[in-house]
Amino acid sequence: MAVRSLKRNKAKNRMLLTAVILSVFLIFTVLTVGSTYMEMEKIQNIRQKGAQFDAVLVGGVTKKQLEWCRERKNITAVGLQAYSGYPEKTKKDSTLHSGLIWCDEVFWKKQMAPARDMVQGRYPQKENELMATRKSLKDCGMEHLGVGDSFEMTYTDHNGSHTKNFTISGIWDGYGDRQVFFVSKKFFEHSGYTLDQTRSGIMYLNFDEKDLRENERQEIMTRLNLGEQQYFEFSQEMSSWMEVMTGAAGLAAAICLSAYLLIYNILSLSVSANIRYYGLLETIGMTNWQIRKFLRRQMALLGAAGIAVGMSLGIVVSFRLIPFIVTALGIHQDDIHVVFHPAVFVLAVGVAAATIFMGNQNAIKTAGSVSPVDAMCYRGSSENRRRHKIRRGPVLWKMALEQIGKNKKKSAVVILSLAASLSIFLCLTTLIQSHGARTVYTNYMNEDLIVQNDTLLKEEKSDWKQIMDAKFIDSVRKLSGVERVSSLKRAEIVVPWSGEITETWLKKFYEKWQEEPFGEKERNEYKEHPERFDSFCYGISRQEFDYLKENENLKTEWKDFREGKTCLLYDGAMSLPESTFLGKTLTFWEDRQGSPEEKITIGDLVSEEYYGAGSGKGLVILISQDYMKEMAGALVFRMNISYKEPYDQETEQKVLQKIQETPGRKDFSYTSKIEDLKEARRAQGNMMGVGIGLTVIIAWIGIMNYINTVSGNISSRQSELALLEGIGMTKRQMRGMLVREGILYGLFSWLITAAAGIGITYVIYEKMNSNQIPFEIPWIWILGMAAIILMICALVPVIFYHIIDKKKSIIERIREIQ
Amino acid sequence: MKQWMVKTRNLKKYYKQGNYIIKALDGVDFQAEDGEFVSIIGKSGSGKSTLLYMIGGLDIPTEGDVFVGGKNLAGISREKLAVFRRRNVGFIFQSYNLVPDLNVYENIILPIELDGAAVDEELVDELLDSLQLLDKKEAMPNTLSGGQQQRAAIARALAIKPLLVLADEPTGNLDTGTSHDVIGLLRTMAKRFQQTLVVITHDQDIAQMADRIVHMKDGKIVRG
């Protein structure tokens, strides 16, 4: 009988079946694709960091710390890395930017492996062997070399400078820092560096659980007994694991709620018809118990069919269609590995089954609470208002509003599910759009290109060259597509012993950056030969000053700064005490014969690492470029370039071409925003594509939900609409009223999205905003989607009205009421 | 010379059902004078409701003409028919058919509002008073008795000052006493506003209250 009843009530059951299919499909697809998205984010993090780890200790690793970590049960991996020197020059290039790093087996084989794409050869065993990357080889001018090839390289380690012949034992490629040569353990042991040295040892830790409690973290920090120069940090993912999981659970709950509303809404629409049917069954002698049994069977059949179809659809879309579309769109060529979670399967089935059960209980309860005859005449309970005040205003708007207010619960369900879709769309597009900015490293002052004079990084002053003179800078400035060029000049200065100022600076500097503390010997040496400690001053532009003033809350005024009355002192990550420096007068002179002595007041401390390049131990001050003009020996250290169009590849090519045309082209290095973004996108893999797939599915589900609901609503109101037509409502007015109803649904869902959706998005965004990027909604996407939703809301009721209008005449529909 | 408010000429309405053709109306010539009260009686399926709907412009004939106030309804678009209905025809149905979300007053003025015309508040109050609904002005339909609902439906039909009032078994859901009251009121109001009244009924007593009785059988007028 249940099967026959299902067959007979095809239209009604088709709607309910669609709702079940959509719900199961929604939960399964969104959560499967969502967990794939999270998995990809995890991979992206590994790629960005260059290895998979949960915490890192930098600034040297003591034996005791190493042993403690290795013995601790919840630490599953302890990987080591050690700085072993740096390449100085090869026969092809004399300004190299790589490092010589040793890493242990745990780091190389376990922690770094997920961030590698390719390895040829093996990790160095002998002292003269190197594991290279194409990038590091290119930096040496040796990009053509392969595994087994040898080349001569001069490098510097803790013991000094050496020139040796090296053999490439392997080449790798992947993510993270690729400007590096990995060396053997023997090389490291002979380099003079040890693991416990500040400049050398780094330890990477993996934990067996991601949600370490705050007290456990504190305990680890305490037990490690960190030294002054050591720095221990839990990874961003580990720090925000709980928040991300809460956010994901919230999102999953919203999706389940949306699915629940989808089924519940359709069930409540068909409940009146069901109750009438149950009444009829009761009049012919079916007992309440038999009705329940019959209903359960009917719903079980419907539920099973809906769940099976929904799940199949979900599997096809998640595992086949999305990867296919994303690849077909050419967003990324890599394969997408969709993650299957059995929990998602159980959740999808569970929510659908529970909703069907609960929705049906409602009908059974109502049917059971009234007499069989009353049940047969049941027409649904609109809210029982006895009277209401006469309302004035445009009749069609009034009626549309009345329709929405008629059954507040039902309307709320439709509006909420639309708002849920729009809000999830808003949340995901905001997160996806800002993903790059939130997680990608950006250039100083967000410049498009920063070009650096590498000769100024050399220790020998005789090697310092002016490779970016005024003429060159001007020629770059004149390139079409270039908006602005500013230069950063650097001059070496001598700061004589100035009591507390120099004492505090050097003491802090040695504590932070040197192996040995600042002692009597060093103090005396400084007093006698301050020029040996290499102090520097940088000449900055107004624009840079304003940037620092805003970002570091400087109190210094531009006028005093420009005139050379005040300067800024670089803090060097040493946490210098303000009281020792601010307002004090600093004496210095340019490190050239016959340079006059200058006096300047220290206005503020700045911590911007951009000014931290260079090898000196002395003070680093920032002065205005106007004031710097007086220093004859100042050289351009960096040139910052902004393009008229952000990420303009063509302009960047022109600038790089200009560099290639200069004689000192090998001494340039640059950091490009375009390349950073490319690298970030490479690390992101298919994240963007999967995210787009996810938002499209959610938007589609929301719309389908509305279509399904409205079709049921119009179908149940066909007699009422015929009556309105009967008393003289024209078709145009009918369309107008239905369009207004739809618009009201759309507008109310907008309102909820604007209030709750934006709020929730903001909270989730801030939890994931490690780069402190200002919250910005991708308005074009959101307004586009909102407009589409409003348009669909307005059109769908009219379309369904046309369908029923074509099927039955007014007379037929009016007769149904009689 | 008599003024015909309603006149049909050889009116036919055929429905196709499978291989059969159902003749709901089969060549009906019906007339009603200006201000006349005509009742139509006949068994279920005799075609009386179909005739009423044709006269009211709710349905389109298969053949023949319908003149209301001298205007031929044949060939008028659905849109224009709706406007014609709300300006000239007041409908009263068996199930009252009040819009459940509007109160009594809003139901009464709905056709006027749809026409964009100004509401004659005096007339509405007069109707409410005559139909004893003045204290129910703001009441919702579901709080009214069957008789009260039908009286509200009458007020709605008359508020537009129609030329023609068409009632399809208006007392079908009412008890005998209330039925007589409702028809009495309807006749009084129609007389007062010079309206032509066509009422379909099964009830012989009700039919007797009309100026003229028309009998229908198998889609044809057999008497009257």
Q: Return left, alpha or beta for B168; rule: phi > 0 is left, psi -120 to 50 is alpha, else beta.
A: beta
Beta strands in B75-191 (DSSP E): 89-92, 164-168
The reply to whether A146 and A3 lie within a common domain is no
Whether residue A463 is predicted with pLDDT greater than 70 in this model: the reply is yes
Within 8 A of A410 by CB-CB distance, chain B residues are: none
Nearest CB to A388; choose among B82, B138, B160: B138
Confidence check: pLDDT of A355 > 70: yes
Query: What's the rounded mean pLDDT across residues B61-82?
Result: 85
Segment A513-520 mean pLDDT: 82
Confirm or reject contact between B21 and chain A (CB < 8 A). Answer: no
Comparing A238-247, A352-361, A375-384, B58-67, which segment has the lowest mean pLDDT?
A375-384
Q: Is residue A392 within 8 angstroms of chain B, CB to CB?
A: no
Exposed/middle/buried for A630, CB within 10 Å: 0-12, 13-18, 19+? middle
Answer yes or no: do A411 and A348 share one domain. no
- pLDDT for A582 equals 92
Among the partner residues A406, A725, A818, nearest to B82 by beta-carbon distance: A725
Nearest Cα to A702, choosing from A407, A431, A311, A426? A426
Nearest beta carbon to residue B111 from set A385, A720, A727: A727
The residue whose two tokens read 């009597």 is A520
Amino acid at A527: K
**Which residues are bridge partners to A636 per DSSP?**
A489
d(CA A91, CA A166): 13
The lowest-confidence range among A52-56, B170-174, B185-189 is B170-174
Q: Distance (Å) from the C-alpha of residue A399 to the closest C-alpha of chain B?
A: 8
For B103, the closest of A387, A811, A814 (CB atoms) is: A387
Considering the domain architecture, whether residues A58 and A42 belong to the same structural domain is answered as no
Mutate: best of A730, A732, A737, A740, partner B, most B CBs <10 A: A730
Q: What is the pLDDT of residue A619?
A: 92
A379 or A695, which is more confident? A695
Model confidence pLDDT, tens digit, residues A378-402? 555 545 566 667 667 788 888 888 8
Q: pLDDT tens, B112-127?
A: 888 888 888 988 988 8
Residue A344 sits in the same domain as residue A476? no
What is d(CA A653, CA A651) in angstroms, rounded to the nearest whole number?
Answer: 5
Q: Summarize the confidence of residues A503-524 as an average pLDDT.
A: 86
pLDDT in tens, A130-183: 999 998 998 888 888 999 999 999 999 989 899 999 999 999 998 888 889 999
pLDDT for A326 equals 58
Two tokens at A580?
Answer: 């020792």
**The pLDDT value given to residue B205:** 86
Per-residue burial over B96-135, b = 16 or more CB atoms within 10 Å of its CB, e = otherwise: bbbbebbbbbbbbbbbbbbbeeeeeeebbebbbebbebee
Q: Which residues of B touch A727 (CB under 8 A)?
A: 85-86, 91, 110-111, 114, 156
Residue A665 lies in a domain: no
Percentage of chain A with pLDDT > 90? 27
User: How big is chain A by its Cα radius of gyration, in Å?
Assistant: 35
pLDDT digits (tens, 9 = 90+) for B7-31: 999 999 888 877 888 888 999 999 9
Our CA-based measurement puts residue B22 at a distance from the nearest CA of chain A, in whole angstroms, of: 15
pLDDT of residue A537: 92
Q: Rounded to whole angstroms, how far apart are CA atoms A128 and A167?
A: 6
Identify which has the larger pLDDT, A282 or A162. Answer: A162
| CB-CB contact of A489 with A628 (8 Å) | yes
Chain B residue numbers with beta carbons less than 8 Å from the beta carbon of A389 are 138
pLDDT in tens, A657-693: 988 888 888 888 888 888 877 776 666 666 666 677 7
Residue A331's pLDDT band, with cuts at 50, 70 and 90, is very low
Could B138 and A390 be called an inter-chain contact, meaning their C-beta atoms sit closer than 8 Å?
yes
Which segments of A329-407 does DSSP mark as H helices, in order?
342-369, 372-376, 395-406
Last residue within a domain, chosen from A234, A257, A288 = A234
- What is the pLDDT, as a whole number, of residue B199? 92
Same-domain status, A636 and A720? no
pLDDT at A55: 92
Q: What is the pLDDT of residue A804?
A: 79
Confidence band, pLDDT 50/70/90 cuts, at residue A19: confident
- For B95, the closest of A727, A810, A818 (CB atoms) is A818
Q: Is the pLDDT of residue B211 over 80?
A: yes
Cβ under 8 Å to B: A residues 58-77: none
Contact A726 B91 (CB under 8 A): yes
How many interchain CB pairs under 8 A, A with B? 90
Q: Is A402 on the interface with B (CB under 8 A)?
A: yes
Instruction: Give the mutation candidate from B44, B97, B109 for the A interface (greatest A CB count, under 10 A).
Output: B97
**Nearest residue in chain A measured CA to CA from B169:** A818
Domain match, A198 and A313 both: no
Q: Please give the average per-residue pLDDT across B46-61, as a whole number.
A: 87
Q: Does A809 contact B59 at a Cβ distance shorter than 8 Å?
A: yes
Range(s) of the domain holding residue A209: 54-234
pLDDT value of position B192: 81
Q: Which percentage of chain B shows pLDDT scores above 90?
A: 19
Determine whether the interchain pair A388/B83 forms a contact, defined as Cβ–Cβ distance below 8 Å. Answer: no
Confidence of residue B147 (pLDDT cuts 50, 70, 90): confident
Whether B111 and A385 lie within 8 Å, measured CB to CB: no
Closest CA of chain A from B191, distance in Å:
22
Residues near A796 by Cβ (< 8 Å), separated by ≥ 6? A706, A707, A710, A711, A742
Q: Do both A513 and A488 map to the same domain?
A: yes
Burial of A595 per CB tally in 10 Å (0-12, 13-18, 19+): middle
Residue in chain A closest to B95 (alpha carbons) equals A818
Alpha helix (H) ranges present in A643-730?
A: 649-660, 673-684, 687-716, 718-726
Q: Is the pLDDT of residue A278 over 90?
A: no
Q: Cβ separation of A731 and B53 shorter than 8 Å? A: no
Cα separations (Å) of B25 from B21, B47, B48, B67? 11, 6, 8, 16
CA-nearest residue to B156 within chain A is A727
Percent of chain B with pLDDT over 70: 99
Residue contact B142–A725, C-beta within 8 A: no
Tell me what percent of chain A is helix, strand and coil, each rounded to the nearest 5.
55, 15, 25
Whether A660 is in a domain gets the answer no
Name the H helices within B45-120: 48-55, 78-88, 104-115
Alpha carbon distance, N-terminus to C-terminus of chain B: 19
Statement: residue B67 has pLDDT above 50: yes
A669 is a domain residue: no
Structure tokens at A215: 């007290």
Looking at the complex, does the CB of residue A381 fall below 8 Å from at least one CB of chain B?
Answer: no
What does DSSP say about strands B164-168 and B196-201: parallel, antiparallel, or unpaired?
parallel
Residue B216: its pLDDT value, please?
Answer: 93
Domains and CATH numbers, chain B: 4-223 (3.40.50.300)
Q: Do B114 and A809 touch (CB under 8 A)?
A: no
Work out the mean pLDDT of chain A and round it to a whole number. 82
Most B-contacting residue of A727, A733, A818 (CB-CB within 10 A), to test interface: A727
Contact A395 B110 (CB under 8 A): yes
Which residues of chain B neighbour A384 with C-beta distances below 8 Å? 142
- Structural domain contains residue A88: yes
Put simply, the answer to whether B100 touches A382 (Cβ < 8 Å) is yes
Q: Which chain B residue has its CA at the smallest distance from A386's CA?
A: B140
Q: Does B44 touch chain A (CB under 8 A)?
A: no
Instruction: Pick the more confident residue, A258 or A635.
Output: A635
For residues A117 and A178, membership in a common domain is answered with: yes
Which of A170, A203, A234 is where one domain is finished?
A234
Helix axes B176-192, B146-159, angle to 10 degrees: 10
Of A403, A732, A815, the CB nearest to B79: A732
Q: Would the CB atoms of B143 and A395 count as touching at under 8 Å?
A: no
Residue A370 is predicted with a pLDDT of 60
A464 and A427 within one domain = no
Q: Using an 8 Å Cβ cutoff, are A75 and A183 in contact? A: no
A160-174 and A116-121 strand pairing:
antiparallel
Phi, then psi, of B139 in degrees rounded to 5: -75, 150
Burial readout A108-127 (b: 16 or more C-beta within 10 A, e: otherwise): bebbbeebbeeeebebbeeb
**CB B97 to CB A814 under 8 A?**
yes
The reply to whether ipTM tops 0.90 is no
pLDDT tens for residues A707-764?
Answer: 877 877 787 787 788 888 888 888 888 999 999 999 999 999 889 888 888 888 888 7
Q: Report the residue of chain A nearest B157, measured CA to CA.
A: A727
Full strand arrangement of the beta sheet holding B196-201: B89-92, B164-168, B196-201, B37-42, B212-217, B220-223
Q: Which CA distances in Å does A25 have to A361, A697, B12?
A: 24, 10, 53
Instruction: For residue A333, name the pLDDT band (cuts at 50, 70, 90).
Output: very low
**Minimum distance, in Å, between the CA of residue A816 and any CA atom of chain B:** 10
Q: Check pLDDT > 60 for residue A43.
A: yes
Mean pLDDT in residue range A189-208? 90
Provide the token pair at A92.
Answer: 């092809």
Q: By the CB < 8 Å criterion, does B110 face chain A?
A: yes
Please report whether residue A31 resides in a domain.
Answer: yes
Please report how many Cα atoms fall inside a 13 Å half-sphere around the Cα of residue A683, on the Cβ side.
27
Q: For residue range A214-228, list pLDDT tens digits in order.
A: 888 888 889 898 887
- Interface check B13 vs A, CB under 8 A: no
Q: Determine whether the interchain pair A386/B143 forms a contact, defined as Cβ–Cβ distance below 8 Å.
A: yes
Assess A395–B contact: CB distance below 8 Å, yes or no. yes
B76 Cβ under 8 Å from any chain A Cβ: no
Q: Which residues of B touch A388 (CB under 8 A)?
A: 103, 138, 140
Q: Could you report the per-residue pLDDT of A627-648, keeping only the tens digit for each?
A: 888 888 888 999 999 998 878 8
Residue A269 in tokens? 């629409």
A388 at B interface, C-beta within 8 A: yes
**How far, in Å, CA of A499 to CA of A314, rounded?**
73
Regarding whether A409 and A264 lie in a shared domain, the answer is no
Of A386, A728, A814, the CB nearest to B82: A728
Q: Clarify whether residues A583 and A701 are in a common domain.
A: no
Bridge partners, A452 (sequence order): A638, A669
- Alpha-carbon gap, residue A162 to A176, rounded angstroms: 28
Does residue A657 fall inside a structural domain?
A: no
Higher pLDDT, A275 or B186: B186
Residues 152-211 on B with a CB inside 8 Å of A are 156, 160
CB contact under 8 A, B142 and A384: yes
Reduced 3-state DSSP string for A210-271 = CCCCHHHHHHHHHHHCCCCCCEEEECHHHHCHHHHHHHHHHHHHHHHHHHHHHHHHHHHHHH
In a shared domain, residues A404 and A454: no
Domain count, chain A: 4
Q: Which residues pair with A484 in a beta bridge?
A: A642
pLDDT at B96 over 50: yes
pLDDT at A371 over 70: no
Residues of A with Cβ-Cβ distance to B139 under 8 angstroms: 386-387
